[in-house]
Structure 1
Amino acid sequence: MDLNKIKTDYNEKINKAKNSAKLELIRIELLGRNGLINKLFTEIKTAPNPKEYGQQLNLLKNELKNIIKEKSNNTINVDSKIENCKLKIVNSFGLPKVGHLHPITITERQLNEVFRKLGFSIYSSPEIVTNEYNFLRLNVPQNHPAMDMQDTIYIKQPQCLLRTQTSTIESYLLQQQSKNLPIRAAFPGCVYRNEKVNRSNHFVFHQYQAVVVDKGVTMKDLIGTMDLMFKTLYGPSVVVRYRCKYYPEVEPGVGPDMQCFNCKGKGCVLCKYAGWIEMGGSGMIHPKVLQMAGIDPKIYSGFAFGMGLDRWTMAENYITDIRTLMGGNLAYKPNEL
């Protein structure tokens, strides 16, 4: 057998080996116990010049060993670089993580669960509404400051605007369900106001509204419902106070305040050094609002309240800046804010 041809052929094979595994297969094929070189050694006795043939065969074996060894060292270095590169990629970028719900969505669903257990239905409605349903049907006077351009975001279509409160849904619902009483409904959603953005305020935020209309509904029912809601979300030790407030759509009106979670009532930037955070507005539905919806206020009464979902979420997750909820940082987890 032509030893020079064997050397040339296997030298080419060795150089073409792209990794350690392929190189090892060539080594076994050539130098293994049952490899080509050992088979050639068995043919020495039948060679025309056994001594010279044996010397040439030993020389070929050593040369091929050296070629394989050199190639192996280079291949190991390449494999090592590839492996290090893989490790760097993993260390730099990490494995894909499972996403999570936005904290506001989590709070909204928690509230939905509370009210479903109390027999409430959950509703939604368009965010572009008319002036009539956003203001007039809620007993807001035509010349009320809230209707000014500096407070409300109007669109080009006449008498249309981005809703400033989820009470708008209440206006639609009372009219639609006026012949199908009683009503127990809750409705979360986005609202828009021409607000200056800071730690506590944003031009787009979220509210959670609830309304009950039935015979014999009293202020005691309103306070009891809100107490249950606060304690369900924040535990029995939560501190809440109720103050008399004025809202056009209710009479009387009350405002629930929760003790500031950041300073525990001592006063800080978040609560504007008051020790309390205003959580929303509530009260007994004004008789005029019921009348405009076609409901007789002499027979039926009701309560309504609207809460800032953003502030609920901030309190639950110890967030001190509302802009965190509206920012583009998606890397946080709700319990790590």
Structure 2
Amino acid sequence: MQSQIRKLHDKYHAELAKIKNLKELEALRVQYLSKKNGEITNLITQIPKLSIKAKKSIVPQLIALKKEVEETLANKKTELNSKKSQAYRDLTIPLPKAHSGHLHPTTQIIREMNGFFRYHGFSIGEGPEIEEVEYNFRRLNLPEGHPATDLQDSLYIHEPDILLRTQTSSIETRILSNNQPPLRIVAPGKCYRNETNSSTNASFFYQYQGFVVDKEVNIQHLKYMITKWFQFLWGEDVKIRFRYKYYPEVSPGLGQDIQCTFCKGKGCQICKYRGWIEMGGSGMIHYNTLKTCGINPEIYTGFAFGVGLDRMVMTKFGITDIRKLYGGQIVYK
């Protein structure tokens, strides 16, 4: 029987080395340790037939063989499970995107509009929020003492020269003063005014400024660009109207409105019962503005537009109170 034990030991290890998966490993376990017909079990059942002297040498060998088989089977199982687990941790396997919140509506609108204007050949500009009066007023055809300067109720940091910018038009004057045409720029940004907070106005708000300066630019180019822009945001069926409006930095000036998306033109609190929501102002850049910024108005013309982003966000996301946008409440999806 000792020779049988040795042969069985060698045979087992040779077969164990060929095992590649858990199914084959289970079959090997049954082959050697099955209670009914396992090869080691069959040898153990023959022990009562041995002499006392033979038992003293055979029994310890069989017990050692059985223990060795059980331990090596367990180790092999751990090894195979580890390989299987590593396969599932492959970092190249694509996984579903985890939900981790979403962008603020204002950020979403800014990115959408930046994409639209980039497609039409515009670059994205930026400028300081703490601004000089020179760029915020003077180069926009607003001389010292001009009535529009008082109407804006500016927030000064150091009177009379340094303030929080009241409009993104200051980005326009900075770029015009430091670059030569042709220029196509849009510039989203924060603005500040001394306003009493209400459902439709706030002291902190976003504007989106854009301008084009080149040879032979006219007002039809302006109306075309604004129409395409609003159709991009609200759909092809959006109703738009242009009104003559005075702005010191442009001449002629236009106000652009869309039909109220809340009441469909019937009149409500959001549109102040007018049926239309004002989306900003625009116009042909004033002769004096171009000249003050160092651009020859006899050669170049241009248009500019500026819109209140917060009102755009409200109409697009169905938000009825501007204060909810920046109050920390999740009132939009």
TM-score (norm 1): 0.68
Q: CA deviation at 1:142?
A: 1.4
Aligned-pair distance for 1:123?
1.1
Matched, 1:219 2:219: yes
C-alpha distance in 2, partners of 1:116/1:167?
19
The Cα shift of 1:144 comes to 2.3
Instruction: Find the aligned partners of 1:123 and 1:164 in 2 and give their Cα distance.
Output: 17
Change (3 A) 1:332 1:198: closer
For residues 173 and 159 of structure 2, the distance between their equivalents in structure 1, rounded to whole angstroms, comes to: 20
Shift of 1:148: 3.2
In 2, the alpha carbon distance for the partners of 1:333 and 1:135 equals 36
Q: How many residues are aligned here?
A: 236
Counterparts of 2:224 and 2:170 in 1: how far apart (Å)?
Answer: 24
Sequence identity (%): 53
Residue 187 of structure 1 aligns with which residue?
A: 187
- Give the drift of 1:158: 4.7
CA distance in 2 between partners of 1:247 and 1:183 (Å) = 21
Letter in 1 for 2:290: L
Q: Cα RMSD (Å) of the superposition? A: 1.5
The answer to whether the 8 A contact 1:146-1:152 is kept is no
The answer on 1:108 being equivalent to 2:98 is no
Secondary structure of 2:157 counterpart: coil
Aligned partner of residue 298 in structure 1, secondary structure: coil
Looking at structure 2, the residues matched to 278 and 232 of structure 1 have their Cα atoms a distance apart, in angstroms, of 17
Q: Encode CA deviations 1:171-199: one digit per residue, 9 max, x unaligned.
A: 10001113xx2000000000001111111
CA deviation after TM superposition for structure 1 residue 332, in Å: 4.2
Q: Give the Cα separation in 2 of the matches to 1:294 and 1:327.
A: 42
SS at match of 1:101: coil
- Give the corresponding residue for 1:166: 168
CA distance in 2, matches of 1:128, 1:157: 13
Q: SS of the residue aligned with 1:209?
A: strand
- How big is the shift at 1:146? 3.7
Which residue does the alignment assign to 1:326? Answer: 326
Q: How far apart, in 2, do the equivalents of 1:230 and 1:109 lie?
A: 15
134, 137, 150: which one aligns with 2:136:
134
Deviation at 1:157, TM superposition (A): 6.1
Q: 1:247 aligned to 2:247?
A: yes
1:268 counterpart residue number: 268
Q: Can you list the C-alpha shifts for 1:49-73, whole angstroms capped at 9, x where unaligned?
A: xxxxxxxxxxxxxxxxxxxxxxxxx
Unaligned ranges ≥5, structure 2: 1-97
Please give the per-residue CA displacement for 1:247-268, whole angstroms capped at 9, x wherever unaligned. Answer: 0000000000111111111111
Amino acid at match of 1:236: E
How do residues 72-151 of structure 1 correspond to structure 2 at under 5 angstroms?
98-148=100-150, 151=153
How far is the alpha carbon of 1:320 from its aligned partner? 1.1
Q: Which residue of 1 aligns with 2:156?
A: 154
CA distance in 1, matches of 2:240, 2:99: 38
Q: What is the alpha-carbon distance in structure 2 between the residues aligned to residue 213 and residue 97 of structure 1?
A: 43
Q: Per the alignment, do residues 150 and 317 of structure 1 end up closer, same or farther by CA in structure 2, a change over 3 Å counting? A: closer
User: What letter corresponds to residue 144 of structure 2 in structure 1?
Assistant: Q
Structure 1 residues 204-236: Cα deviation after superposition (integer angstroms, max 9, x where no partner): 000000000000000000000000000011100
2:133/2:160 contact within 8 Å kept = no
2:258 equivalent in structure 1: 258
Deviation at 1:201, TM superposition (A): 0.4
Distance 1:267 1:103 in 2: 25
CA gap 1:149/1:200 in 2 versus in 1, 3 angstroms: closer
Query: Unpaired runs of 5+ in structure 1?
Result: 1-95
Q: CA deviation at 1:314?
A: 0.7
Distance change (3 Å), C-alpha of 1:144 and 1:262: same
Separation in 2 of the partners of 1:169 and 1:261? 30
2:177 alignment counterpart:
175
Structure 2 CA distance, aligned partners of 1:252 and 1:157? 31
1:150 Cα deviation from its structure 2 partner: 7.2
